[in-house]
Amino acid sequence: MTPLTLQAYLGPYDNESITPQVRAAGGMLVSMVNDVLAVAEQDGVPLFIDPDTLSHIGGSGNGGVRPPNGLVGAKNSAHKRGRAVDIYDPNRELARWVLRNIDRLKTLGIEAVENPRWTPSWLHLQDEPLASGNFVFIPNATPPLAEALPEQRTDVA
């Protein structure tokens, strides 16, 4: 596995107004995510490099840290605080593995993931729990972007 780096996580915003606290949080998150990816790969999950970011981070610049005044994401988004990352998952096998291994992810420091029905080619991981206590959450009020995975019941969030 090619490890995720803090430089890749900071991406195009490395020279923006990213505070030392956000940079430090991002460094800890990157370490946790590398542990998760290593375990997933050991379990046979294929990992991919996004051609847009040249790393495991999905998207075209907003899958890692986001600037505090950026237009992408909520004002207090976990991405803007260095606490979330979107991992490129074009075939959704990593998302399926996560849904089968929630307890393992929690032991590795991951506290929440966006519902894969809203993330058709990436997997959102964050290292802080939600106030609701849910591990899998719906990120917004828009309709789902993908079909439910076999590991998901469609009658629950």
pTM to 2 decimals?
0.93
**Could you tell me the fold of the domain covering 6-137?**
Muramoyl-pentapeptide Carboxypeptidase; domain 2 (3.30.1380)
The sheet that has 84-88: what strands, in order across it?
A: 84-88, 122-126, 112-114, 136-137
pLDDT band at 73 (very low <50, low <70, confident <90, very high): confident
**What is residue 16's predicted lDDT score, i.e. its pLDDT?**
73
Q: How many Cβ atoms are within 10 Å of 68's Cβ, its own excluded? A: 16
Give the start-to-end residue ranges of the domains of the chain.
6-137
* Chain segment 86-138, per-residue pLDDT in tens: 999 999 999 999 999 999 999 999 999 999 999 999 999 999 999 999 999 99
